[in-house]
Each structure stands twice: as C-alpha cells, then as structure tokens.
Amino acid sequence: MYLETPRKFRALVSQAHQVAANYLRPLSRTYDRAEHAYPKELDMLAALLDGMNAGSPDAVGAGAAGKRSEGTADGVRNGGNLSACLAVMEMCWGDVGLLLSMPRQGLGNAAIAAVANEEQRQRFASVWAAMAITEPGCGSDSAAIRTTAVRDGDHYVLNGEKIFVTAGARADAVVVWATLDRSLGRAAIKSFVVEKGTPGMTVTRLEKKLGIKASDTASISFQDCRVPAANLLGSPDIDTQKGFAGVMETFDNTRPLVAAMAVGLARAALDRSRTLLKQAGCRFDRQRPLLVLQHAEACWHRYEAEWEAARLLTLKAAWMADNRMPNSKEASIAKAKAGRMVGEVTLGCLALVGPQGYGEDELLEKWARDAKILDIFEGTQQIQQLIIARRLLGKSSAELK
C-alpha cells in the first residue's frame, strides 16, 4: 500500500476540496440553523457529480464504494472505495450534514454497491438511497432486527418500524434490513430497496438533533408494504453456513466511509484552530522539541498525530476492499479509531481556542456537535471493539457477546 494519494485521484481530491471550501462551508451555518429545510443548492452539485461519473471507469462517491467485480484484472488496485473515502474526507472538511444530504451519496447507495448484483446496480444507479437498520428495540445489535419480509408471489410484504434513518424523508428509496425467518436468526436477514411512495411505507417522524442538522433523520413504518422480489439485494437464498456475513458486507464498505467523514471533520477543526492559535502567538515550529512548546501547541500536535493514525487506518480499510481482501476487522478498527478521534479532536480544539470557539461566530462549536454522531452510527465505539475482539480471538458472536 502506497501511503500518498494515488496520482489518478489527486485531481478528484483537489476538486472535492474546492467544492467543500467554496460551496459547502458557506452554507454550513445556514442549514445548521434551519433544521429540516432541504438544501436545494445541493441538487446542482449532485448533478455535476453525476456528470463526472458518467462513463468514467473510476466513479466517485458513495455508489463507487463496492467490492471489485469478478473478472477484474489481478494486481494491486486503487479503486472506488479509496476514491470514495478520499472525496468524503474533503467534502466533510466542508460540512458533514450537507454531505449526508447530497442526492445519491447516501449510505444506502454504498449498501447497494456492496451487495447488489450487476442488474440491480444498473437499475438503481440513479436512485438516491437511504439506509434503514435501527429499530425501537434494536440498536447496535443488528441481528436483533424484527422487521419482517414475507414472500407473496413476485413480492415481499414488509412489516415493522425503522428509526434514525439518515435522509429517510428526502431520499428516492430506502434500503431496509428485514428478516425472512426469525427462527433462523442472523442468516435470514436481507436488505430490500423500497422506493419512495410505495404503499404501506410512511415517514412518521423527523428528529431534532444535536448535530448534522442539515441532514434529515426520519422514523419510517412499514405496514403490509409490498416490495418487488427483484428489489431484494443479492441472493434471496438463506445460507445458514454463511450466516450474517452477506449483509455484513455492507458494513465492510460503509464503515470506512463514516471513518472518512470523521477524518475530514477533524481536519477542519485542526486547520481552523491552528489559524486561531497562530493569531494568538503560537509558532507551530516543527523544528522545536515538544518539551519547549507552549501547552496549546503541544496539545495540537498530539491531536494531529491521532488524526493521522485514523486517516491511514481508514485508507487501509478502503484499499483492502478495493483489492478483495477480507476487511471486516480493519473496517471496524478504522471506524472505532476515527469515531473516538473526531470527538477528542473537535472538543480539544474548541477548548484550546477558549471562548472564541464556543460561539456561533466560529464553526468550531458546530463541528464539536456534528462529531458525536460519527462515533454512533454504523455501529457504536463499543460494538466496533466487540467486532475487533471477535476477529482477533476467532470467536463467533454467540461465543463473545
């Protein structure tokens, strides 16, 4: 693995940074204050991104974050997962909530890319997809899902309730996790693409949140909701030997993306706090030993080191996915490290600049609020540590709870 940004992605990274600086960052406070208002400015940006992806072998964005298709030439490859993470890092340097609000860049799109067959990838290529996993009685333990899907001819009938669905009210469709047979446990959980407007699917609530206010977070109920059987992602067969692994492939691709969001947000806080600290007299001279630095400067350097570690772990997990290497452990390590890091860095940077960072004149206070969700969704810190322990010790979920 080469630790520098691959040459073919450098233009993408530069473009994404320009969008973040000149487009997303100026809108940050507007939609933080106007929670539940849709950022219409993002429609044009999404259309531009679609144009960039049209006919491109190296597509960017959430939909690019899938496993390398069968038949791809052997050898080390920098592909869609790595490009998606690099782009997300830059965009979230601009604003996490706005990135999550961008059409066709939802975690549902990454889920489709991870587990759908080729026909489904093409059919849903232009669809903006949210992802619905969490339920009122099922949070971090995705295997405890109670939403059911019963086969009825050419359809599945879904019944249940999902909460905390990011972009659930705005997206064109929702990727819903449901069980085909509760008695078979994890192996029977499948994901379905339920398109907006499908009878029986109802948005029941929009949450008021601590952070990422630009992004809507919905509760959705499913009552005898009929979904075409062709919308079940991947294979409809229940493989008790494979167990939960088929659906968990989604997390192997989306967790590095969430880690990348944390890396981008933390970089924003580091950059802004460095500017303010320099104005206050900190020299930031890397030639000087840490022992003679001012306390604020020494703390800042420690935060940057934590950021760099999270960044490299994130790129490694994405790179492994591009090269068809099992990356479940590495995806969880990246998510755990980045989720913990972004909270420490944003709050720490806010503390370093004192009262100047606490008011709405500075985005530092917003970034500190936005950071918390990145340690929660796609699996909490504690769940990531549990997954890592299982992989290291060779234990199943039944053996290590």
What is the C-alpha to C-alpha distance for residues 334 and 25, in angstroms, rounded to an integer? 26
Q: Are 206 and 218 in contact (CB under 8 A)?
A: yes
Does residue 115 lie within any of the structural domains?
A: yes
The backbone region for 324, taken as left when phi is positive above 0, alpha when psi lies in -120 to 50, beta otherwise, is: left
Same domain, 254 and 353: yes
Residue 238 domain-assigned?
Answer: no
**Residue 237 located in a structural domain:** no
Last residue of a domain, one of 123, 158, 179: 123
Distance of CA 237 to the CA centre of its chain: 28
What's the whole-number average pLDDT of the chain? 90
**Which residue(s) pair with 226 in the sheet?**
157
In degrees and rounded to multiples of 5, residue 212 shows phi and psi of: 35, 50
Whether 253 and 385 map to the same domain: the answer is: yes
**CA-based Rg of the chain, rounded to a whole angstrom?**
21
Query: Do 52 and 186 share a structural domain?
Result: no
How far does Cα 161 stand from its chain's mean position? 22
Backbone angles phi, psi at 220, to 5 degrees: -135, 135
Q: Among 64, 94, 123, where does a domain finish?
A: 123
What pLDDT shows up at residue 53? Answer: 61
Nearest residue to 314 via CA among 271, 375, 263, 366: 263
Percent over 70 (pLDDT), the chain: 92
| pLDDT reading at 242 higher than 70 | no
What is the tens place of the pLDDT at every residue in 151-199?
999 999 999 999 999 999 999 999 999 999 988 888 899 999 999 999 9
Shared domain check, 225 and 324: no
Same domain, 181 and 142: yes
Q: Which of 18-22, 233-237, 393-397 is modeled with the greatest confidence? A: 18-22
Please give the C-alpha separations between residue 40 and each of 10, 214, 326, 328, in angstroms, as whole numbers. 28, 11, 39, 36
Task: Report residue 332 as tokens.
Answer: 């969880």
Number of domains in the chain: 3
Give the other-Cβ count within 10 Å of 311's Cβ.
24
The per-residue pLDDT for range 320-331, each reduced to its tens digit, is 999 989 999 999
Tell me, yes or no, whether 364 and 256 share the same domain: yes
Q: How many residues does the chain have?
A: 401
Enter the tokens of residue 194: 């339920």
H helices then E strands: how many in the chain?
12, 7
**Same domain, yes or no, for 115 and 227?**
no
Let me know if residue 378 belongs to a domain: yes
CATH of the domain at 138: 2.40.110.10
Q: 62 pLDDT band (50/70/90 cuts)?
A: low
239 located within any domain: no
Provide the domain limits for residue 370: 245-393
CATH, residue 387: 1.20.140.10
Quick one: tokens of 230?
Answer: 């062709």
CATH number at residue 81: 1.10.540.10
Identify the band that residue 247 occupies on the pLDDT scale cut at 50, 70 and 90: low
| Residue 258 shares a structural domain with residue 383 | yes
Find the largest Cα–Cα distance for the chain: 74
71, with CB counted inside 10 A (0-12, 13-18, 19+), is exposed
Domain match, 36 and 11 both: yes
334-392 pLDDT, tens digit per residue, is: 999 999 999 999 999 999 999 999 999 999 999 999 999 999 998 999 999 999 999 99
Comparing 150 with 248, the larger pLDDT belongs to: 150
* 133 within a domain of the structure (yes/no): yes
106 and 135 part of one domain? no
| Residue 85 lies inside a defined structural domain of this protein | yes
pLDDT, position 72? 47
CA 57 to chain centre: 23
Query: Are 217 and 206 spatial neighbours (Cβ–Cβ below 8 Å)?
Result: yes
Name the residue with tokens 């889920």.
111
365-382 in b/e form (b: 16+ CB < 10 A) is: bbbbbbbbbbbebbbbbe
In a domain? residue 74: yes
* Angle of helix 245-279 versus helix 80-94 axis, rounded to 10: 40
Contact by Cβ (8 Å): 279, 362? no
- pLDDT tens readout for residues 276-323: 999 999 989 888 887 788 899 999 999 999 999 999 999 999 999 999
> Which pLDDT score is estimated for 71?
40
Catalytic annotation, residues: 378
Same domain for 250 and 389, yes or no, is yes
Last residue of a domain, one of 123, 145, 177: 123
Residues 305 and 203 reside in one and the same domain: no
pLDDT of residue 289: 82
